[in-house]
Amino acid sequence: MHDAYDQLNERRRASRLQVVRVADELASVDPGVREINYVVPGLKSTEPQPVQAVQANEVVAVVACYHRERPGLKLQEWMILGSQTLSMLRDRLIGFCLTDHANDGPNVRSGFFFIENTFYNDMREPSNLDYSATIIAWAQDPDRAFDVPAFSQFKSADMATTHIRDLNVRLNQPYAYVHQGDCEHVIVFKDLR
- 3-class DSSP state for residue 138? helix
pLDDT score of 136: 87
29-32 own/partner pairs: CB under 8 Å, 24+ apart: 29/66, 29/72, 29/73, 29/74, 30/72, 30/73
Q: What pLDDT is recorded for position 8?
A: 60
Please give the Cα distance from 165 to 49 (Å, whole number).
23
**Host H or E run for residue 91:** helix 86-93
Q: What is the pLDDT of residues 131-188, one digit of tens each?
A: 889 888 888 877 765 667 767 788 999 999 999 999 999 999 999 988 877 788 899 9
Convert 39-68 to b/e letters by CB count within 10 Å (16 or more is b). bbeebeeeeeeeeeebeeeebebbbbbbbb
pTM to 2 decimal places: 0.69
115 by DSSP, 3-state: which? strand
pLDDT digits (tens, 9 = 90+) for 47-61: 666 776 777 788 889
How far apart are alpha carbons 96 and 63 in whole angstroms?
A: 14
Q: What is the DSSP letter of 133?
A: H
Measured between alpha carbons, how far is 134 from 138 in angstroms, rounded to an integer? Answer: 6
- DSSP code of residue 73: B
Q: Taking CA 181 as the corner, what is the angle to CA 8 and CA 34, rounded to the nearest 5 degrees?
A: 65
pLDDT digits (tens, 9 = 90+) for 70-80: 878 888 888 88
Strand 155-158 with 118-121, pairing: parallel
CB 93 within 8 A of CB 140: no
What is the reported pLDDT for 36? 46
User: Checking phi first, is residue 88 left (phi over 0); if not, alpha (psi -120 to 50) or beta?
Assistant: alpha
What is d(CA 87, CA 131) in angstroms, rounded to the nearest whole number? 16
Q: Provide the residue type at 29 as one letter.
A: V
SS3 74: strand
